[in-house]
Amino acid sequence: MIRLGTRGSKLAMAQSQQVADEVARVTGDAVELVEITTPGDRSMAPVTQLGVGVFVSALREALEEDRIDVAVHSFKDLPTAQPDHLSIVAVPPRADARDALIASGKTLIDLPEGSRIGTGSPRRISQLLALGRGFECVPIRGNIDTRMARVGDDLDAVVLASAGLIRVGRQGEISEFLDPLQMLPAPAQGALAVECRKSDKTLSAILGKLNDRYSQTAVAAERGLLARLEAGCSAPVAALADVSEGEEPGDIDIYLRGAAIALDGSHTVKLSSTATVAADDDVFQTASNVGRALAEELLAEGAAELLK
């Protein structure tokens, strides 16, 4: 029996069950979902107050204490510093990385000036304000159902991650998938991280079969940028890597976009770059360096001032 740790929210359970099914397929073993309550689940305070890693720490403690064998995280929730004794052994195929608008069938351009839009993400708030439409951004917390229920009540719309809505089967209620040109996603949004103890070498090797090299490359580039900017998962930093097959067999081409946005939306530094990860490269290291290089360019253009 393999014990797979997960948060207890509807979304976390749904995505963890998907991973559990794949783990059972590649190992031939039964997989038990073990629900772990994190500090972030016990508080309704804004994530910006709770701090980086608030949804992760309890799962990692359970790994360290051998109460679970594997943990599944939303990759965008992970701090950029990886504990020495734990390994991210797989990034399964990434879901849609875009943000989604829930607005009773209206698109973003349909919403009148001054509309009340619910989101607790500084990244989303800053990009909505940058549109110059006079939107009022209302900080919200809670699960997907709770946030969506407020549309038509005290909110005109909410912005959520497309991947989460798809994983819980509510994609039919999405009014609009927001184009990254309007709303660049959070680094690693839509991706999952499968983590286990580094000492569990046999399990690590088996779980590695769940890894999708293209998704791993994209996430590594985006998080390399985030790490160099020394920004947490709640900072107004956005990044998206589009990856495709390179010219040579096994090569992966990267088109990376990154942005740092002032909290009030008054100023944005946005740049892009291209690179190739060769077939025999260390995917994580090479792609991460691509992200760090773009971050250096963002810093040269004044990103640090926007993130203070």
Q: What digits encode the pLDDT tens for the residues 1-45?
A: 999 999 999 999 999 999 999 999 999 999 999 999 866 554 444
- Quick check: pTM over 0.85? yes
The more confidently predicted of residues 241 and 40 is 241
Q: Are residues 166 and 241 in the same domain?
A: no
pLDDT band at 49 (very low <50, low <70, confident <90, very high): very low
The pLDDT assigned to 50 comes to 43
State the pLDDT at residue 141: 85
Q: Can you give the CATH number for the domain in which 131 is found?
A: 3.40.190.10
Question: Is residue 205 included in any domain, yes or no?
Answer: yes
Q: Tell me: the pLDDT tens digits for 152-207?
A: 999 999 999 999 999 999 999 999 999 999 999 999 999 999 999 999 999 999 99
Q: DSSP states of the chain as a string? A: -EEEEE-SSHHHHHHHHHHHHHHHHHH-S-EEEEE---HHHH--S-HHHH-TTTTTHHHHHHHHTTS-SEEEEEGGGS-SSPPTTEEEEE-PPP---SEEEESTT--GGGSPTT-EEE---HHHHHHHHHTTS--EEE---S-HHHHHHTBTTTBSEEEEEHHHHHHTT-GGG-SEEPPTTTSPPPTTTT-EEEEEETT-HHHHHHHGGG--HHHHHHHHHHHHHHHHTT--TTSSEEEEEEEEE-SSTT-EEEEEEEEEE-TTSS-EEEEEEEEEE-TTS-HHHHHHHHHHHHHHHHHHTTHHHHH-
Grade residue 230 by pLDDT with cuts at 50, 70 and 90: confident
The pLDDT value recorded for residue 67 is 97
If you average pLDDT over every residue of the chain, what do you get? 93
Predicted confidence (pLDDT) at residue 285 exceeds the cutoff of 80: yes
Catalytic residues: 76-77, 123-124, 141, 147, 233
pLDDT at 142: 87
Question: What band does 233 get if pLDDT is binned at 50, 70 and 90?
Answer: low
Provide the residue range defining the domain that includes 27. Answer: 1-92+191-211
User: Does residue 108 surpass a pLDDT of 50?
Assistant: yes
- Is 307 part of a structural domain of the chain? no
| pLDDT value, residue 48 | 52
Classify residue 308: in a domain, yes or no: no
Mean pLDDT for 300-304 is 96
| 159 occurs within a structural domain | yes
Q: Which whole number is the average pLDDT over 136-148? A: 93
Segment 105-121 shows an average pLDDT of: 96
* 72 and 18 co-located in one domain: yes
pLDDT at 165: 97
What's residue 203's pLDDT? Answer: 94
* pLDDT of amino acid 43: 44
Question: Is the same domain home to 147 and 108?
Answer: yes
Is the residue at 183 inside a domain? no
Task: Looking at the structure, tell me whether residues 118 and 227 fall in a common domain.
Answer: no
